[in-house]
Amino acid sequence: MGYLFSTTLIASLTKPARCISISYSRIFAEQMYFPGLNGRLAFAIAAAALGSSFQHGYNTGVVNAPQQLIEDWISELKANRTNVPTSQSEVTLIWSVAVSIFCVGGMIGGSLVGWVADRFGRKGGLMLNNVLVLLTVVFEGSAKAAKSYEMIIFGRFLIGINSGLNAGLAPMYLAEISPVHLRGAVGTVYQLVITISILVSQILGLEQILGTVEQWPLLLCLTIVPAIFQVCTLPLCPESPKYLLLSRGKDMDAQRALTWLRGTIEVHDEMEEMRAEYESMKLIPKVTLRELFVNPALRIPLFISIMIMFAQQLSGINAVMFFSTKIFTMAQLDKNAAQNATMGVGAMNVLMTIVSLVLVEKAGRKTLLLVGFGGMFLDTALLTICLIFAETSRVAAYFSIVLVIMFVVLFATGPGSIPWFLVSELFNQSARPPATSVAIAVNWTANFIVSIGFLPLQDAIGAYVFIIFAILQAFFTIFIYKKVPETKNKTMEEISSMFRQISYQ
């Protein structure tokens, strides 16, 4: 299968092999149950997703494995500067800033998505964003030699801005280049690459590979690899056809881009849909941030987008992933076995995200969200009970392991992937950039709240901290059932019309 996929991508880039590309692509699409997927579209998806969401996931997980090594380096460095022994509380504070400033950068990057998407385009914004990756590598890679932990903090801030921009630009580009019936599956690719990159960072951070005193700067610098991949591949792909026509008014360029992406000249129906949307957009003023909150037809989907982003981050997934190694240790696993089990959980996250990629176009967005959040509520309630008795009961400890794995499975089936592309589905072309900015900024803000607040809460109330997540999951399940619409196989005009009707009721 891997050979067939790579052959498809290479063949599709050369005109003499066009007939071979189309036949291979058709075989690949049929095997994956994704009719309409061809080699060129797959290449564009890979170019956009691998170079962007990989940064998001890798830089989320890369700091976990070498934490103790970097903390020891910070402690020694600060002691040499001041000639006074460094307390553990000082080191913990510096490390907390280095980790959490990634989310602060993400908030800033997320709030800039709308401006960058309009000013430079979706593809152009993704390309330009790689400058921040290069600067990050310069600062983080030089920090040890320069004896400056401040350079790591600044590098984490820069890559946070990069990841915040990627979180908005990449799903927007993926949604706009996809056929309607593949929009959900293609949108899921963003979360799939995040899960893969987190797993890669866990593996590379092992002591046997790069998790050593000498190699940890290289571990941080490997974030340049996906950026190089994107800089080499994305220029071969077209800009989003919707952006070219609806935002720039370039009809012929949009048609050429769509023809390239579909691998056929038979794009008349899609072009007519986009032209109809373009004509309707001329009748209304450009959507501003204020308009999103004032206009009821826009305020309703914006509120849904914000709540879904809060739901994803406040679901407790980061807390469970953080707590997983400790849970495995409670079950009498030694340190290495607990780390391997944690990586097994990461692998399960990847596997179930692949499953959701198939299910999202069959079961629908709302169904998967309800199954995910409803299941996590029950799982978290049971996990809380098991964790209370885990240290005294071997049975409770083993049940905790099962429940952690089940939690990850439920999260990956819908709540992990759907929020990233649902925002792009709820808004038309003119409202999409500012709405995405708000939603992504909210997501990173919620991420920051969890990363800052979880440890103090866990220290204060122990395993009972998961009761808070269970209550939140129950609330979000009810909200999704009552307020979130199903967008599967619906055109942008149908979705916009639905919200206009709701706003007038």
Do 171 and 291 lie in a common domain?
no
Residues of the chain whose pLDDT is less than 70? 1-35, 322, 330-331, 503-505
Please indicate, yes or no, whether residues 206 and 304 belong to a single structural domain of this protein: no
Q: Does 294 lie in the same domain as 442?
A: yes
> Do residues 133 and 227 make contact, with C-beta atoms less than 8 angstroms apart?
yes
Alpha-helical runs (H) found in 147-247: 149-177, 183-204, 216-221, 224-233, 241-242
Asked if residues 54 and 193 have their Cβ atoms less than 8 Å apart, the reply is yes
CATH number assigned to the domain comprising residue 389: 1.20.1250.20
Query: Does 422 lie in the same domain as 365?
Result: yes
| Residue 266 maps to a domain | no
- Quick one: DSSP state of residue 215? T
Please name the residues in contact with 123: beta carbons below 8 A apart, sequence gap of 6 or more.
Answer: 48, 173, 234, 237, 238, 239, 240
d(CA 28, CA 354): 16
Q: Are 188 and 353 in contact (CB under 8 A)?
A: yes
Question: Can you read off the two tokens belonging to residue 311?
Answer: 């739901």
Domain total in the chain = 2
Other CB atoms closer than 10 Å to residue 26's CB: what's the count? 17
pLDDT in the model for residue 34? 64
Question: How far apart, in Å, are the Cα atoms of 205 and each of 36, 57, 127, 197, 262?
Answer: 39, 14, 28, 12, 40
Q: What is the pLDDT of residue 251?
A: 94
- pLDDT at position 503, please? 56
Residue with structure tokens 């007519």?
272
Please check whether residues 153 and 298 belong to one and the same domain. no
Which of 402, 306, 411, 346 has the alpha carbon at shortest distance from 60?
Answer: 346
Q: Where among 172, 202, 237 does a domain terminate?
A: 237
Give me the domain span that covers residue 76: 37-237
Does residue 24 sit within a domain? no
Helices (H), strands (E): how many in the chain?
25, 0
In a domain, 46, yes or no: yes
Round to whole Å and give the CA distance between 489 and 502. Answer: 20
In terms of Cα–Cα distance, which of 374, 403, 373, 375 is closest to 463?
403
- 469 and 372 belong to one structural domain: yes
**Whether 227 and 345 share a structural domain:** no
Among 331, 308, 451, which residue's Cα sits nearest to residue 402?
Answer: 331
Alpha helices in 286-361 (DSSP H): 289-294, 296-314, 317-330, 335-359
Within 10 Å of residue 89's Cβ, how many Cβ atoms?
8
